[in-house]
Chain A
Amino acid sequence: MTADRSRLPDLGPERPFTFPEIRRATLDNGLRVWTVEHRQVPLIAVLALVPVGSASDPARQPGLAAITGDMLDEGCGDRSALEVHEALGRIGAQLDLDVGHDATVLGLTTLERYLDRGLELLRDMLERPRFEQREFDRVRDLRLNRLLQLKDLPPALADRAFTQLLYRNHPYGHLPIGSEGSLRGMMIRDIMSFHRRAFAPVRTTVIAVGDGSHEALSAAVRRAFQGWTGDGSEPIADPDAFAPPAAPPARLALVHRAGAAQSELRIGQVALARRTPDYHAALVANMVLGGQFVSRINMNLREEKGYTYGARTAFEFRRAPGPFVLHASVQSDATADALREALGEIGAIRGDRPVTREELELGRASLTRGYPRNFETADQIARAAAQLALYELPDDYFTTFVPKVLALTEADVTAVAAKHLDPSRLLSVIVGDREKLSTPLRSLNLGDIADVSGGS
């Protein structure tokens, strides 16, 4: 028997998928407890979300939120730094700390039978970090060394320059790791003060997902966290309240890297906040432009021209408007051509090549049909739930996602792209060899090329 190869097989009927139920409770101290049952593997993922990130760094202390987060597991409660990690290792726990622009997220995945021990450690990290001078000095040195090493990493240089030029003095205008000068000037009391203001039960959501009933998960979180006190009444910078940044000082900036084997590119502009009503249409617009392999920009730069191993775009949705950004690393002698093509693609969607019916359907289908894949592991589910908590999205967000995307038309998607992507406002940052690039880049007529140093 041979298969019918005259055409692709039809898709069968879709199988239903419903996002698992999130149960919500609030402890007396104000801490929110969310639980989701997910019983495939004897693991439990716990996330503690504190909606304070590097956007809340004091203006003169970029990097404070990140180093505060980094210090949480360097000794807490009755345990020294080494004892914390010994205890984590004994229960086979995986600890992840992520300090982003909007939030600090502490994640711990452990075997179900060790849940109480894992929660106790997590609680101590949040509530009772020791912040010892000796540990602080060491952690700061490690971060300074990391900053030093990032000077040789083209993607990091590009991200830094792009972020600084695009957002300038806005709270999103620096990377979470901060700068050398700021880290050197930091004192342990800065960390303590930041921790006292940011980490309070009333601000925190603990999300437990895994192999246990709602009741068991919720009771375990309650046991661990109900004694945490602190009122969270001291003010902390809130990105929602900041004015939008001024326009970048130039449209094209170059970070010189002599003899670079490739040019690292970032192209983008300030775009959308997570709570925008244009969210779903922007996701589809991004699928058309550069959000997946078969998008316009990747097909052009990689599959037609062979300039790059890959090009991707994304709207980085945050509390306040985050950037739309294109990432690519392109071969040096094709830098100007790649830039011209990418700018052309971003411009065309609001000009002579609006979103087609076929592209709309492809974008909608990729997003909606692939949706269940995002909720396979306990950690994935917990991180999805954390988005609801962080951005204060409605409870029915997951169940309305697919119908909302499917309701979009070509015109909706083109309109949202046109509204938020303006080629005359795009900032392009290149990390590459100035000697090789200046002449071809001038042919793009993007005005003066701003020279940016690679330092921190």
Chain B
Amino acid sequence: MNISFSKHTLPNGLDVLIHEDHSLPIVAVNLWYHVGSKNEVPGRTGFAHLFEHLMFEGSQHYDRGYFHPLQEAGAALNGSTNADRTNYWEVVPTNALDLALWMESDRMGYLLPALTEAKFSNQRDVVLNERRQNYENRPYGLAGMAIVDALYPPEHPYHWLTIGGADDLRAAHIDEVRAFFQRYYHPANASLALAGDVDPRRGVQLAESYFAEIPGGVRPEPVRVTPPGPPPSDLRLVLEDRVELPRLYLAWHSPPLFAEGDAELDLVAEVLSSGKTSRLYRALVYEQRIATEVAASQNSRELGSFFQIVATAAPGRTLAEVERAVSKELIRLIERGPTTDELDRCLAQAEAHFLFRLQTVGGFGGKSDQLNAYNTFLGDPGYFEQDLKRYRSATPSLLREAAERYLKPSRRVMLSVVPRGRVALALGDSRPVAVS
């Protein structure tokens, strides 16, 4: 499985990646900036994402909103921010590639002259509403905050979620937009991928004609952190929420994205919870029926990942029962590893999912997004085959070793989310946490 591509770096430092696929008369434009909420500081959390919103509000040479001309040309477009990066994309009909590059380059080069206090305060309100909708008003919506709060010390940039704190968002000031833009939003900190109905030579010419005029800037120093120590042994927390069924979260520190152990833990997560024959689903939901759902995941990130297991108790069942059943399965996996059959099934699924992601040229997770991910995090856009090899070279004993090394019972955060007023449903001796 290889995705053909070419890579050029413009004199200002902008990487331009091009993948040709003429199946449909569409082109994906995908632009990554290597900045996310991990570049924020305590007291100013949520800023990278708020900034992403401002990128859609117009720039110097087209100051009437970003969506209008592109939607009129038939484009789909969006952007997203996570801890490590911010991405922006358009999927346009072939004849609107110029337009999309004009628009992307104008906001990369000329955002600030069009920025106003009115736009800033409007988008801050929008983001506060996004926060209410997706976190505050959603069942279990604050659990993620409690987990990262417990896993990482306050100064660690993964201590907060990308959405940020509501008070921090309210305290954000328009002057900070300027400094943030100058530091992070320039060609040397960006990677542009074009995928689809585009001739590579013409693609490079177009990228040059729109982006070459933008000064390069200084590539920001990578964020350096002291790896966080393990959480206190047997850390038990409880959060009351407006929910019907209690839910248990278990989380461990795990190796960073692409580091040794990352792919193995991805596969461990598959063995544990992918499909009805996975170990946790089968034991907790299918056979014992003590949980209504269970999910395990390796949440891979640049500075360090976390592995998480989430299980919701069935009515009348306790989180203590759920915890015992999860731990029993984990111990069994750590002691004996997966079977060859299980690993084969998980590999087939992993390969198929890999292929599913590469069916589209653009959007979140299509070929252009993946080229940029590999380029931004590894400097190698053509990492597809090696990425797959990380999975194919896994063995039952490698999975067992990874589980043993990283998923120690003594090194986990245990969070119980319980219906309001029913703290007794939490794991015993849990300490209340306050997040909002």
Contacts and interface: CB of A to CB of B under 8 A. Distances in A.
A393 interface: no
Contacts of B352: 92-94, 109-111
B335 to A, nearest CB: 23
B99 A9 contact: yes
B360 A377 contact: yes
B361 A376 contact: yes
A360 to B, nearest CB: 11
B95 A14 contact: yes
B74 A366 contact: yes
Contacts of A92: 348-349, 351-353
Nearest to B124: A306
Contacts of A2: 213
Given A89-B349, A294-B67, A15 B25 contact: yes
Interface residues on B, range: 35 or more
B258 to A, nearest CB: 23
A111 B136 CA distance: 41
A369 B74 contact: yes
B74 A111 contact: no
A323 interface: no
Given A42-B355, A309-B130, A368-B74, A81 B276 contact: yes
Interface string A81-121: 11001101111111000000000000001110000000000
B338 to A, nearest CB: 13
A152 B74 contact: no
B398 interface: no
B369 interface: no
A199 interface: no
B213 A377 contact: no
Contacts of B136: 261-262
Interface in B105-121: 105-106, 110, 121
Nearest to A39: B23
Interface residues of A, number: 76
A8 B132 contact: no
Contacts of A149: 139, 243-245, 292, 312
Contacts of B275: 85, 88-89
Contact of B359 (A260, A370, A377): A377
A309 B132 CA distance: 9
Interface stretch (A138-146, A216-224, A269-277, A410-418): A138-146
A370 B75 contact: yes
A149 B275 CA distance: 21
Interface string B319-339: 000000000000000000000
Nearest to B347: A92
A403 interface: no
A445 B67 CA distance: 35
B209 interface: yes
Contact of A41 (B67, B128, B209, B359): B359
B25 A16 contact: yes
B102 interface: yes
B348 A90 contact: yes
Contacts of A6: 61
> Which 9 A-B pairs give the minimum distances between C-beta atoms?
A369-B74, A92-B352, A306-B125, A15-B25, A370-B74, A12-B95, A92-B348, A309-B130, A261-B136
12 contacts: A15-B197, A89-B345, A89-B346, A89-B348, A92-B353, A93-B352, A94-B356, A138-B286, A145-B315, A148-B315, A308-B126, A371-B74
